Amino acid sequence: MKNIFFISILTLLSCSENKLGLEKNKTHNFGIVIHGGAGTILKENMSDEMELQYRNALKTAIKVGHEILKNGGTSQLAVEKSINILEDSPLFNSGKGAVLNSYGFAELDASFMNGKSLKAGAVSGARKIKNPISAAIKVMENSPHVMLSGNGADQFAEQQGLEIVNSDYFITKRRKRNLEKVKLREVNAKKISNKLNYDEFYKSQLFGTVGCVALDKHGNLAAGTSTGGMTNKKWNRIGDAPIIGAGTYANNLTCAVSSTGWGEFFIRTVAAFNISALMEYKNLKIEDASSLVINDKIGKLGGNGGVIAIDNKGNVAMEMNTPGMYRAHMNSEGKLLVKIYKDE
Amino acid sequence: MKNIFFISILTLLSCSENKLGLEKNKTHNFGIVIHGGAGTILKENMSDEMELQYRNALKTAIKVGHEILKNGGTSQLAVEKSINILEDSPLFNSGKGAVLNSYGFAELDASFMNGKSLKAGAVSGARKIKNPISAAIKVMENSPHVMLSGNGADQFAEQQGLEIVNSDYFITKRRKRNLEKVKLREVNAKKISNKLNYDEFYKSQLFGTVGCVALDKHGNLAAGTSTGGMTNKKWNRIGDAPIIGAGTYANNLTCAVSSTGWGEFFIRTVAAFNISALMEYKNLKIEDASSLVINDKIGKLGGNGGVIAIDNKGNVAMEMNTPGMYRAHMNSEGKLLVKIYKDE
């Protein structure tokens, strides 16, 4: 009897300790991951100065979101504000410095998803919105729709009081040169529009995205993605970035994901949601689910790119099948990782 | 020894019989399912004449696809040709007779996916393409992209030699009246754009889609969806129909799915791919996976609509959480089912 009593007390103590431990975890385990695009990013093609610029920009962007999370702010706000920094930087293919379409101007795509409400918003083919991710969030919050496009997206953003800019704002000299190079390459190689056998140089000029996923102190996940899409794109092409399930997905049950890479393959494999489904339906860990989608599903179809993902415990994955992906991670303890190349 | 020999012979016979049986199945078990939209379709609001028109149109459309399958044609061709019939009919919200946006013209969305190649194509916000599903297939086959939108989609379709029509072609008196009613209702009810509490009348005027899924004699699946979206839609809204994973998905490993209903909820739940993921990752049957997505995932968020799905054995699901869905099914034996109301 004495023994049973003793064991019961121990069990009670251990239970309450577990409970406290869990609650402690729940309150404190937050984290944020950002990416600035995956692709043929090679050390030998990168000057030290350029590399430093990228690392500093990633650091600045992730610290903004991390500060919000540390102060008890929402993952939604952290994702928006970190992406805004990347959109405003001419280094990345989103907002200012976005790649140019075949007519020489930027067409911007972005999407956002809230893991608690499972609400989502997106804009595609916007031409005047300074910060497309903020417009995606406004679509989610202040319209009955998930996805707006073209002029309609610009009009809605303007009605919502977001900053509207002239199309020249987005254009940089670097992207103009990229467009010229890609057009020349297409003419020289007589590339036919239905051939996807782009060479490495060509691919390195085509893509790029920015994205952010975060878990806040309240246990809520959020994901966002913003991009200018493909250099020299035609026919108002829409890639994976503004598509919920392909470029962006968040669900408090599982994880938050933002994709980057050759968008067509991410659409066909429903990449972002696929990672969540592998976790929810097959109990895969976030690293295994991300690796399976990037290397197995996308890789086997001939696609390439990467994802960042964070689960509802704060575990993260930064998976790619390309030589590099601009990326950074900060956890609850404030430990910062900034990486560019695959093997570093 | 004699016994063992006898058993071996029996096993061999049974194996080859199984093999033959399977091959026989593989060759002969084909099927096709179509839908013409889900919603508040009630017997008391439908004249006998109108009901007959719908049933006849569904019958005509499914027979075209079934004939192709019976003659050994591909599921891709069957899906395209059956949907073309529904697009050309003014009864359904796609192609001719599509609902009108707030400016009074049709903006058409469509998507297609091939379950063997996992290739896909889509158009959104098209205004001049007579048969949007055919344009989606051309995007898949003759462009490096999955999704084209707006003017770009129209231009691409024209370059591909598809039939281009004046925007008046799509407009019917019935849809003009619907638009007026919905606009009046919005003004009277002072509906705020971010409220989703549409009443039943309102909802019945808003949505509609057509879609088709098929399994051919070669064991290949295909899915397609085509729609005018929501009556009175603004800001170049894009619904689930042109989004791979939400409105359309096909994979020979699992099934082919086409969605219809309140698109925003189908995007947020990644409905079409979700059914496939539940089959692939949780071994759910097609009926159970479809029911779980429509009733549990979409229903619990407050959304409504339906799906049609066919798996790689020819099993089908026609699931809805609305009072009705225009739908039809034909199997290998040529057995035809045409249904409108949920409980029939």
What is the per-residue DSSP string for A69-105? HHTT--HHHHHHHHHHHHHHSTTSSSSTT----TTSS
Average pLDDT on B161-183 reads 94
What is the C-alpha end-to-end distance of chain A, expressed in Å? 59
**Whole-number mean pLDDT of chain B?**
90
User: Which residue of chain B has the CA closest to A238?
Assistant: B147
Distance (Å, rounded) from C-alpha B315 to C-alpha B304?
23
> Per-residue pLDDT for B82 more than 50?
yes
Q: Please tell me the distance from the alpha carbon of residue A16 to that of residue A12, in angstroms, as a whole number.
A: 6
CB atoms within 10 A of CB A203: 15
CB contact under 8 A, B125 and A281: no
Compare all CA atoms of chain B with the CA of A237 and give the residue at the minimum distance.
Answer: B148
The residues of B annotated as belonging to the active site are 209
CB–CB of A268 and B147 under 8 A? Answer: no
- Do A193 and B144 lie within an 8 Å CB cutoff? yes
Band of residue B196 on the pLDDT scale cut at 50, 70, 90: very low
- Whether B26 has a pLDDT exceeding 90, the answer reads no
Q: How many residues does chain A have?
A: 344
Asked if B236 and A148 come within 8 Å (Cβ–Cβ), the reply is yes
How far, rounded to the nearest angstrom, does the alpha carbon of residue B239 sit from its chain's CA centroid? 13
Q: What is the pLDDT of residue A291?
A: 98
Identify the residue among B198, B206, B238, B279 best suited for mutation to test binding to A, counting A beta carbons within 10 A and taking the highest.
B238
What pLDDT score does B100 carry? 94
Task: Please give the ipTM for the structure prediction.
Answer: 0.90
Cβ atoms of B130 and B153 within 8 Å: the answer is no
B44 or B188, which is more confident: B44
Whether the CB-CB separation of B160 and B178 falls below 8 Å is answered with no
Q: Which helix (H) or strand (E) holds B249?
A: strand B248-250
- Among residues A74, A209, A225, A260, the one annotated as catalytic is A209
Side chain identity at B166, as an amino acid letter?
A: N
Beta bridge partners of A331: A31
Contacts of B273 in chain A (CB under 8 A): 245, 270, 273-274, 277
Confidence label for A13 from pLDDT (cuts 50, 70 and 90): very low
Is the distance from CB of B237 to CB of B205 less than 8 angstroms?
no
A288 close to A282: Cβ distance less than 8 angstroms: no
Provide the pLDDT confidence category of residue B44 given band limits of 50, 70 and 90: confident
| Phi, then psi, of A225 in degrees rounded to 5 | -145, 140
- With cut-offs at 50, 70 and 90, classify the pLDDT of residue B200: low
Looking at residue B182, its pLDDT comes to: 85
Confidence of residue B184 (pLDDT cuts 50, 70, 90): confident
Q: Choose among B154, B98, B160: nearest CA to B129.
A: B154
pLDDT 10s digits, B306-340: 999 999 999 999 999 999 999 999 999 999 999 99
Residue bearing the bigger pLDDT, A3 or A121: A121
**Helices and strands, number each (H, E), in chain A:** 11, 13
User: Which of the residues A195, A259, A267 would you substitute to probe the B interface, choosing the one with the greatest number of B C-beta atoms within 10 Å?
Assistant: A267
Whether the per-residue pLDDT at A338 is higher than 90: the answer is: yes
- Give the up-direction half-sphere exposure of residue A185: CA atoms within 13 A in the CB hemisphere: 19
B102 touches chain A (CB under 8 A): no
Mean pLDDT of A212-224: 98
Task: Please give the share of chain A, as a percent, with pLDDT higher than 70.
Answer: 86
Mean pLDDT to the nearest integer, A68-93: 97
Q: What is the mean pLDDT of residues A107-132?
A: 98
- The DSSP annotation for B120-157 comes to EEEEEEESSBS-HHHHHHHHHHHSS-SEEEHHHHHHHH
Residue A179 has pLDDT above 60, yes or no: yes
Residue B244 C-beta-side C-alpha neighbours within 13 Å: 36
CA–CA separation, A301 vs A322, rounded Å? 14
Q: What is the mean pLDDT of residues A177-197?
A: 70
Q: Which residues are B307's β-sheet partners? A: B259, B319
- Position A105 pLDDT exceeds 60: yes
Cα B318 to Cα B261: distance, rounded to the nearest angstrom: 13
Token pair listed for B3: 């016994």
Distance CA B16, CA B136 (A): 42
Nearest by CB: B152 against A235, A239, A270 = A235
Residue of B nearest to A243 (CA): B243
Res B151: pLDDT: 95
Residue A126 has pLDDT above 90, yes or no: yes
pLDDT at residue B21, rounded to an integer: 38
Instruction: Indicate whether B7 pLDDT > 50.
Output: no
Which of A253, A270, A298 has the highest number of chain B CBs within 10 A, making it the mutation to test binding with B? Answer: A270
- Angstrom distance (rounded) from CA A336 to CA A62: 9
Inter-chain touch A118–B151, beta carbons under 8 Å: no
Topology of domain B31-341 in CATH is: Glutamine Phosphoribosylpyrophosphate, subunit 1, domain 1 (3.60.20)
Q: What pLDDT, on the 0 to 100 scale, is given for residue B119?
A: 98
Q: Which residues of B touch A125 (CB under 8 A)?
A: 149-150
The residue-averaged pLDDT of A235-251 equals 97
Tell me if residue A52 falls in helix, strand or coil.
helix
Whole-angstrom Cα distance, residue A215 to residue A250? 10
- Mean pLDDT value across chain A: 90
In the DSSP assignment, the letter for residue A15 is H
The pLDDT assigned to A205 comes to 62
**pLDDT at A342 exceeding the cut of 50:** yes
Q: Determine the distance from the C-alpha atom of residue B128 to the mean position of all C-alpha atoms in its chain, rounded to a whole number.
A: 21
Q: What is the mean pLDDT of residues A254-278?
A: 97
The Cα–Cα gap between B25 and B219 comes to 10
Domains of chain B, by residue range, sit at 31-341
Please give the interface size between A and B, counted as residue pairs whose CB atoms are below 8 Å apart: 157
Given a cut of 70, whether residue A192 has pLDDT beyond it is no
For range A327-339, the mean pLDDT: 97
Which residue in B has a C-alpha nearest to residue A272's C-alpha? B270
Q: Where are the alpha helices (DSSP H) in B161-261?
A: 173-188, 200-206
Between helices A150-159 and A132-142, what is the axis angle to 10°? 80
Nearest residue to B319 (alpha-carbon basis) of B279, B284, B290: B290
Of B143, B145, B270, the CB nearest to A270: B270
Distance (Å, rounded) from C-alpha B159 to C-alpha B76?
22
